[in-house]
Structure 1
Amino acid sequence: MIHTTRNNIFKKPKIEFFNTFDREEFLLLIVKGIVIGIAAGIIGSAFRYIIHWGNEYRHEFMATATMEQIVIWAMIMMVLGWGCHLLLKWAPLSGGSGIPQIEGEMKGIFNMNPFPTLVSKFFGGAFTGIVGFSVGREGPSVQLGGATGKLLSNCFGSSLREERILTSAGAAAGLTAAFSAPVSGAIFVFEEVHKSFYPKLVIPTFSATISSNLITSLVFGLTPSLGFSVMESIPIEYFTTLFILGVAVGCFGVIFNRMIVGVKCIYDRLPISRGWKISLTFLGVTLLGIDSQMLLGGGNDVVTMMVAHQQTLQVLLYIVIGKIVLTSICYGNGAQGGIFLPMVVIGSAVGALMHSILVELHMLPNAFGSSFIICGMAGMLAASMRTPLLAILLVLEMTNSFHSIYQVGTVAIIAYLTAEFMKELPIYDNLLLRMSQGILGAEEEQTFFQTRLSVVCPYVDTMLKDIEMPRGSMIVSIDRGGQPIVPVATTVLQCGDELYVSCTKGQLKEVKEFFGL
């Protein structure tokens, strides 16, 4: 009896991680993720460098240009605007941010043609960067990475399921290249794009972000992408000021979302062609830059300026309001360019603004301006995107201020709850919803996806026969602790079950929403 017990204790358990897929597939996913990460890192770094060069060149040119040179420059910018229009005709899914397109690709709403999208996004994004559009490089970098992942997955001969995984990994690598933030790049895919995670997604995604960050570090060095770190911490006795900041930045996040969608609707109703909409916006931004370059471009330099020197209330209000309005105009015309970095800049300006107000009211010492700036960034992202974990990690990675997690996390969560209370849709979900109108249900090709049941899922401890799934969809397999289970009517779902769900492409969005994805 004792001998048998010992044998049972030291016997190798049958349940192990590799039961879900074989070792060869595991190693291939790592290799493919690394290859995609390197490719996306090279493309993303080149795109980031061109945007930086365009901003520097525009600043120097406008500082010394004569009126004749400005007229010539404006004409060239209008031509570039028309070039963006022609690129969009070639690759229709390359307009705007790129993040809703990647999310739509994962849900089966879109079928991105990777090569035209890659070329159009790269050059169109470069054009909007040179003219000084108040848009960011991050959304385009996500789509550049996603298009790279899809293009290479076609070269690998991947299945539809693996193609989506590698496209996601490329998107994460693209965000990593834009911000030099590998963990945030991966979390972006898990929290924003898939709203879940499972081993076959985690493995290539982290492989891609780490290899992309290696390329980015070789090009831009190891300094934080925003070029500064915050050393001071806000004492616990000033917690109420963090609550005030969280509510304020949450409200501004909702205002920003509504402005983006509202101005885009106005652009869509204008009785002129898209080419003229983009070219005239290029002209308007050029003329705005004659007087001041503060609102133009993504805004990295504005954040650095606010950290280095305390600004007046008037200047901070000008940055907040001007950046919201100009970003809405630049995004609304449909040209290539994202809203991720402008959100960061607006949040930092709201943080600086609230810091100045609280100091004037003697509710806060004057020593915590930088802390309020990074807290405002996280709060803005959490309120607008509704991804608090990504918001916290991204700000900490961009500034290398991990010891500030208490204050950054507090503001991000309060801003998130404020936006939830105001019942505002997350910005990228809202944009995807508007882009997908009239497209859903067009594809009848069968597909499938994976999801893991969480503790709060309403279908936990429920028999399959009692779950009314959307018509035409079904659970084809269940993985429970590494052991495959063939689902039958009396199978009871448990927390942690990994489900393999089959449906048509047109149903994919509906079925994912059924499972809370």
Structure 2
Amino acid sequence: MEVTRVDKTRITYLMKGTAVGIIAGIVVSMFRLAIEELGAAVFHLYGYFHQKPLLLLPWILISILCAVVVGRLAKSDPTIKGSGIPQVEGQLQDALTVNWFSVLWKKFVGGVLGVGMGLFLGREGPSIQLGASVGQGFAEFTGADRSETKILLSSGASAGLAAAFNAPVAALLFIVEEVHHNFSPLVWLTSFTSAIVANFVSMTIFGLQPVLHMGQISSLPLKNYWLLLLLGIVLGLLGRFYQIVLLRLNQWYQKLPLPDYLHGLVPFLLVIPIGYFWRETLGGGNQIVLGFGLHLPSLTVLLFLFLLRFVFSMVSYGAALPGGIFLPILTLGGIIGAFFGQFAVMYLGMDPIFAKNFVIIAMAGYFAAIGKAPLTAIILVTEMVGSLNHLMPLGLVALIAYIVVDLLGGSPIYETLLERLVETKPSDIKGEKVVLEYAVHAESVLDGTQVRDFRWPKDMLLISIQRGEQEVLVHGDTIIQVGDLLRILTDTRHARNVYQEITALDRPALK
């Protein structure tokens, strides 16, 4: 009788992914809960300040103290600055080294203070970095090698996003599309396991309601699809503008007569008048999108809301505080969609019942334009809204917005941020041996090419090819095929350059 062989490697990674998912789910859920509780307290305080305006004076001192504390944390460990997503990508590319425990507690405290005090920052980037730190810590605790550490780090990042947004499928796609840019069986299995488990932990605490549930919304009729073409173009143009402004923030902040670690004083003080007059706009902005499910404001109000959210989200992120742009981007997209929907009703003859559709559609399109990760954008918004009725419009707008940004020369925002981060952190690169993995896609120049016929970069050695379940030893006449996973030996000093050079040489077929 034939005995079925069990792949113990996958079972092992599934179990480890489960462990990482449980721990990361708890950590990120506590992070999310702390932000919500502090945010609710701050919201009520700003309402109370209208009755007791003099209490604003001690509140200013408290805000200054918070800015100094967060600044000190970031100064002691610069890897907690910003969203944390570029840092995670840098770790996986061997461009950065990170102290996982330092990041874990400092990012937690800094993120809670920054987002909870009402700055226009998101919790998802920090959640991804917190999850990655859990994965890295688990790998260190279990004595994992470098390859396994990367898999566990990826699974932790996936768990972090899943717990932050209750979106496990989008979390997996984010790891595959945005972080790794290829499909590895062990990475997706471990990451998806962690995401599902972390999502279960999060739902146990916060309930089953989708994060941005807007109630029942009718499907957009085909006769209105021409509006999606216009919306996609608008989102692409505005998305490219967002990228340009965001990437210049550091130059503007450097002109301030303040040390870098005290740049947070600017948003921590400016948020006070915003909270006093418009406290409903504070934080990442999910409450604004939820409000659109009940009522869409006038065009004037929406325009003001967009300008306020855009400008102060830039001010908040530019100070390099521990906080993300994920949710603020979705909020800005929702505002653009609400404006476009109202405009279409008033001037283009669209039925008002379909105006809210554009809120959902524009969130995905705006994120796809800025992050250049359309699949993640589509599934993320679908899971956050809790409706499958909008997949076709989401896909169409995300594709158009992506193409517009591509034509305008825009790059994925997190990759660009990583490039700048690595340039300023040469001391974080260590010359240790590492094995890179490069996936051969259908459009690849490598498909059908003999190993000897490709102009490989220096400082590397192609050691084997993973072809399905088999590992193929490489010779000069070995023919590379679609779906192959190339295993490349190099060291951490050259890993990033080697990968980028192969990608550039492999790119002509895409033109």
Q: TM-score range by the shorter chain?
A: over 0.9
Deviates more, 1:399-408 or 1:142-151: 399-408
Instruction: Determine whether 1:28 maps to 2:12.
Output: yes
Q: Is the 8 A contact 1:259 1:325 kept in 2?
A: no
Q: Is the 8 A contact 1:44 1:144 kept in 2?
A: yes
Matched-pair contact (CA < 8 Å) for 2:310–2:332: yes
Deviation at 1:230, TM superposition (A): 4.4
Separation in structure 2 between the aligned mates of residue 362 and residue 478 of structure 1, nearest angstrom: 56
* 1:199 Cα deviation from its structure 2 partner: 1.0
| Cα distance in 2 between the residues matched to 1:483 and 1:261 | 43
* Structure 1 match to 2:112: 126
Distance (whole Å) between structure 1 residues aligned to residue 102 and residue 424 of structure 2: 23
For 1:436, what is the secondary structure of its paired residue? helix
Show the 5 A alignment for 1:338-377. 338-377=324-363
SS in 1 for 2:254: helix
Structure 1 residue 512 and structure 2 residue 496: aligned? no
Q: Quick one: distance in 1 between partners of 2:342 and 2:80? A: 40
Structure 1 partner of 2:180 = 194
CA shift, 1:265, in A, is 2.2
1:85 aligns with 2:108: no
Match of 1:56 among 36, 40, 44: 40
Matching residue of 1:323: 309
Q: Which residue of 2 aligns with 1:464?
A: 451
Whole-angstrom CA distance in 2 between matches of 1:287 and 1:231: 35
Number of equivalent positions: 501
Farther-moved stretch of structure 1 (308-317 vs 254-263): 254-263
Which residue identity does 1:172 align to in structure 2? Answer: S
- Paired residue for 2:217? 231
Counterpart in the other structure of 2:259: 273
Is the Cα contact below 8 Å between 2:440 and 2:482 reproduced in 1? Answer: yes
Which stretch of structure 1 is more off in the superposition, 362-371 or 214-223? 362-371
The Cα shift of 1:27 comes to 1.5
1:414 to 400, 406, 418: 400
CA positional deviation for 1:491: 1.2
**Aligned-partner Cα distance in 1 for 2:178–2:488:** 20
Residue 416 of structure 2 is aligned to residue 430 of structure 1: yes
Shift of 1:301: 0.9
Q: Which residue of 2 aligns with 1:492?
A: 479
Distance 1:499 1:233 in 2: 44
Residue pair 1:253, 1:383 contacting (<8 A) in 2 also: yes
- Output one character per residue of 1:406-426: Cα deviation in whole Å (capped at 9) or x when no partner: 111111111111111111122
How many angstroms apart in 1 are the aligned matches of 2:503 and 2:333?
29
Deviations 1:185-243 (A, max 9, x none): 11110000001111111111111001101101100111101132443111111111011
CA distance in 1, matches of 2:467, 2:412: 32
Q: Are 1:47 and 2:31 counterparts?
A: yes
Residues 165-186 of structure 1, C-alpha deviation per residue, up to 9 Å, x if partnerless?
1001000000001100010111
Query: In the alignment, is the contact (CA less than 8 A) between 1:54 and 1:130 conserved in 2?
Result: yes
How much has 1:515 moved relative to structure 2? 4.0
CA contact (8 A) 2:75 2:261 kept: no
Moved over 6 A (4+): none
Asked if the contact 2:213/2:386 (under 8 Å) is kept, the reply is: no
Specify which of 90, 94, 102 is matched with residue 108 of structure 1: 94
**Residues 19-43 of structure 1: CA distance to partner in whole angstroms, max 9, x if unpaired?**
xxx8332211111100000111001
The one-letter amino acid of 1:114's match is W
Structure 2 residue 493 is matched with structure 1 residue 479: no
Residue 11 of structure 1: how far off its partner (Å): 10
Shift of residue 452 of structure 1?
2.4
Q: Distance in 2 between matches of 1:275 and 1:326?
A: 19
1:379 matched to 2:365? The reply is yes
Counterpart CA distance in 2 for 1:192 and 1:230 is 31
Q: Distance in 2 between matches of 1:41 and 1:158?
A: 21
User: In 2, distance between residues paired with 1:265 and 1:28?
Assistant: 47
Whole-angstrom CA distance in 2 between matches of 1:360 and 1:506 = 58
The one-letter amino acid paired with 1:213 is N
Structure 1 residue 454 corresponds to structure 2 residue 441:
yes
| C-alpha distance in 1 between matches for 2:59 and 2:230 | 45
Structure 1 counterpart SS, 2:98: coil
- Hey, what's the Cα distance between the residues in 2 that align with 1:492 and 1:510? 24
* One-letter amino acid of the structure 2 residue matched with residue 367 of structure 1: I
CA deviations 1:351-371 (Å, max 9, x no partner) are 011111122222422111221
Tell me by how many angstroms 1:394 deviates.
Answer: 0.3
Give the letter for the 1:465 counterpart: R
CA–CA separation in structure 2 for the residues paired with 1:224 and 1:307: 13
Does structure 2 conserve the Cα–Cα contact (< 8 Å) formed by 1:230 and 1:370? no
Give me the whole-angstrom Cα distance separating, in 1, the residues matched to 2:113 and 2:289: 23
Picking from 492, 502, 506, the partner of 2:489 is 502
AA partner of residue 474 (structure 2)? P
Q: How many angstroms apart in 2 are the aligned matches of 1:83 and 1:398?
A: 33
Paired residue for 1:310? 296
Q: Give the letter aligned to residue 365 of structure 1.
A: D
TM-score by length of 1: 0.94
Quick check: 2:74–2:261 contact (8 Å CA) kept in 1? no
Instruction: In structure 2, give the amino acid aligned to 1:504.
Output: D
What is the aligned-residue identity percentage?
31
Aligned: 1:96 with 2:82: yes
Query: Whole-Å Cα distance in 2 between the matches of residues 377 and 138 of structure 1?
Result: 15
Are the aligned partners of 1:295 and 1:326 in contact in 2 as well (CA < 8 Å)? no
Deviations 1:382-434 (A, max 9, x none): 00000000000000000111121111111111111111111112211111111
Gaps of 5+ in 2: 505-511
Indicate the residue corresponding to 1:160 in structure 2.
146
What RMSD in Å do the two structures reach over aligned CA positions? 1.8
1:245 Cα offset (Å): 0.9
Structure 2 Cα separation of the partners of residues 254 and 145 of structure 1: 29
Say whether residues 1:221 and 2:224 are aligned partners.
no
Give the Cα–Cα distance (whole angstroms) in 2 for the partners of residues 254 and 417 of structure 1. Answer: 11
Distance between the aligned counterparts of 1:230 and 1:455, measured in 2? 39
SS of 2:390's partner is: helix
Bigger drift between 333-342 and 286-295 goes to 286-295
